[in-house]
Amino acid sequence: MADRPVLLEALGVTKTFAGERGLFGLGPSKPPTPVLHGVDLVMDYGEVTGLIGESGSGKTTFGKCLLRIVEPDGGTIKLQGEDWRGVEPKALQAARAKYQMIYQNPYACLNPGLTISAHLRETLKVFQGITGTAAVDRVGEELGRFGMRDKAGSYPGELSGGEKRRVSVARTLLTKPSLVVADEPTSGLDASVKADVLDRMLDARDADTAYLFISHDLDVIRFVSDRILVMYRGRIVERMEKDRIDPELPHHPYTIRLFEAARADIPTEEESRAMAAAADLPIDTNVGCPYRGLCQIWNDRGRPEDDCASVRPELVSIHSMQRVACHVLAEQASVESPSASSQETSP
């Protein structure tokens, strides 16, 4: 329908995890850990957005914050025009039938004492109140779509890793959700099984279902996504549409590193030593560009006291289908960077 609101509008999402004491509550308290620093994401029905970054960059936390599996500290989240953060906890379970997550570890999501059919029938009962013959028919249809109809009576321990992944995806899509947050759904699978799981996920997609596809595998993200967001230390450093996902085009230095990793480019011994030395030098990431300590450009320039060292870069357009948070690329594209007075200086 043309008049329905945007599916997802998340603006300025933040999350900080409280500090904890050591084992058994002993020892000094650790300081709070900021994980997300004002992340924005807008998605509409039928879209696939890829979110990529190295482990620990905040991707999974952001996905869980969107669905309130983890409560965000700040920002606004609207799902289908509704203030999602304002939904009372008692109403969340019913609402989550429309907003689902595929977890990274399918082994932890399956009860070893239940058959695959029982898992899916329980999902229908809890979220949609469907039981009996109607539930059996729906489960058979969904398992058939994933080539798993003959596994309905099997237990999780009798399935391969790829089959567990398919069951996890099938169970998620059973409620016909509007938004699916897929967290590393192909992690740990070999190439042929990975391709099969992706194909079946995309085949199950329709014009009313959107995916946020979280991964550190750039090749997977390029295959499935309409656009990509690159996250570094809880901040989006680049947004690009599918046509700009090309390693030969200008990109944020961190994105270039991800391209190199996807191509399995092995750095020379000299490059490895230079990167290690750069990483060891003290850098205040609360000001300036948080990536500059590992940035090839800034280190090659001799680490000058320029905007990279003092001004937090904002996302600016260097192309109609690409935005980056990089002073150097903004300068090369003749785009005026936001003034220093408007920059965020807190962690």
Interatomic CA distance for residues 305 and 84, integer angstroms: 43
Return the closest-CA partner of residue 298 out of 314, 283, 315, 316. Answer: 283
Interatomic CA distance for residues 262 and 184, integer angstroms: 15
Confidence check: pLDDT of 279 > 60:
no
What 3-state DSSP class applies to 186?
coil
The vertex-121 CA angle with 119 and 127, nearest 5°, equals 100
Interatomic CA distance for residues 81 and 4, integer angstroms: 8
Q: At what angle do helices 161-173 and 191-204 cross, to 10 degrees?
A: 10
For the chain, domain boundaries? 8-19+30-115+168-233, 253-342
Interatomic CA distance for residues 211 and 202, integer angstroms: 10
pLDDT tens, position by position, 207-266 = 788 999 998 877 778 888 999 999 999 999 999 998 898 888 999 999 998 888 776 655
Mean pLDDT of the chain: 84
What 3-state DSSP class applies to 39?
strand
pLDDT of residue 338: 58
CB 215, CB 186: distance < 8 Å: yes
pLDDT band at 31 (very low <50, low <70, confident <90, very high): confident
At residue 75, φ and ψ (nearest 5 deg) are 95, 175
pTM: 0.86
- Maximum mean pLDDT: which of 37-46, 218-227, 274-283: 37-46
Confidence check: pLDDT of 340 > 50:
no
pLDDT of residue 336: 67
Average pLDDT estimate for 321-345: 73
CA distances from 185 to 53, 150, 193, 317 (A): 15, 22, 11, 31
Q: What CATH topology corresponds to 8-19+30-115+168-233? A: Rossmann fold (3.40.50)
pLDDT tens, position by position, 288-325 = 998 988 888 888 888 888 999 999 999 999 999 999 99
- The radius of gyration of the chain's CA atoms, rounded to the nearest angstrom, is 22
pLDDT of residue 210: 92
